[in-house]
Amino acid sequence: VLRAHNRATIVDVTHEVPAQDIEAGAFFVASCIGRFPRGTVHLAVVDPGVGTARRLLAVEAAGDHWIGPDNGLLDAVLALEAAVVRAIEPAALGLRAASRTFHGRDLMAPVAGWLAGGRRGFATLGPTIADPRRLPAEAGDRVLVVDRFGNLITNVAGSRVTPGRTRLRIAGRELRCVGTYGDAGRGELVALVSSYGTVEVAAVDGSAYDLLRVGRGAAIELLDRDG
C-alpha cells in the first residue's frame, strides 16, 4: 500500500478472522461501514479462491471504497444503496501477481493505495458489473465469531431482544438478557447487545466459550418471558 501511496494512514482492523471463513470476514467488513472518515479505502482479503478465475471487486458505496475478492466478503457493502461495483482488471492496470496463493499484496493493495492517494480514479479500475457474488441466505440465528475474550458474537440483531424479558437458549442452556456486564453476577452467563449491534453471549469477568464449549455456527433460540 505504501509503495502505491507513501503517505497513506493504515489501520489494521483485524487479523483474527478464522482461516478461509468468508462469512466471519463479511461480519467484520459490515462492522466497518460508517466507522471511518468519509473517503476511506477498505481492503479486505479472505480469499480461499485465490489463483482461480474468481474476480476482484472494487465497490463505491456510502462515500467510501472497498476492495476485495468476489466471494461474498463484501456482501454488506453490496447491499448499500447506490453501490457501484466494478471488476478490477489487473493486467490492464499493469499489475501482475507474483504468486498464485496471495493476491492481497500484489493486486489488491496497489489498487487500494492508488485510490487512497488519488493516483487512479474508481472509474478506471475496470467495467461495472451487475452480478457480484452475495453470501448464501443465512441459515438461522447462530454464533458468527468467538472473540478473544471468549464472547460469542451472534448474527441476532440487538433490536430483537429486551433486557429483563428476553431469554436466549444456546447449547442446552437458557440465559437471561441484561443491559450490560454490571447487571449480572461474576461468572454468570448472559446475553446482551454487543458493540457490533448484534447479541453476544458473555460470561461476566470470564469466558463464555470456556463455559459452553460451542462456537462458530452454534444455534440460538430466543424466548420471550411472556411467550
Q: Show the cell assigned to 105.
A: 499484496
Q: Report CA-CA distances (Å) from 216 to 63, 166, 200.
A: 32, 22, 12
List % helix, strand, coil for the chain (3-state, nearest 5): 20, 25, 55
CB of 128 to a second copy, least distance (A): 26
Provide the binding-site residues for a second copy, judged by CB under 8 A: 2-3, 6-12, 15, 19-20, 35-37, 48-52, 98-102, 105-106, 148-150, 179-183, 192-195, 197, 200, 202, 205, 207
- Looking at the Cβ atoms of 35 and 225, the one nearer to a second copy is 35
CB of 48 to a second copy, least distance (A): 6
Where does 75-207 show beta strands of DSSP type E? 84-87, 143-146, 152-157, 166-170, 173-176, 189-193, 198-203
CB of 150 to a second copy, least distance (A): 8
- Looking at the Cβ atoms of 88 and 184, the one nearer to a second copy is 184
- Looking at the Cβ atoms of 52 and 118, the one nearer to a second copy is 52
CB of 103 to a second copy, least distance (A): 9
Phi, psi of 105 (to 5 degrees): -75, -45
Grid cell 482492523 in the structure block, residue = 13
What secondary structure letter does DSSP report for 65?
E
- Looking at the Cβ atoms of 61 and 209, the one nearer to a second copy is 209
- Looking at the Cβ atoms of 164 and 179, the one nearer to a second copy is 179
Question: What residue type is assigned to position 28 of the chain?
Answer: F
- Looking at the Cβ atoms of 66 and 86, the one nearer to a second copy is 66
What secondary structure letter does DSSP report for 109?
H
CB of 142 to a second copy, least distance (A): 20
CB of 50 to a second copy, least distance (A): 6
Cα distance between the two ends of the chain? 54
Question: What residue type is assigned to position 3 of the chain?
Answer: R
Instruction: Report the distance separating Cα 78 and Cα 162, nearest Å.
Output: 30
Q: Report CA-CA distances (Å) from 82 to 102, 164, 199, 216.
A: 30, 39, 29, 32
- Looking at the Cβ atoms of 41 and 86, the one nearer to a second copy is 41
CB of 36 to a second copy, least distance (A): 6
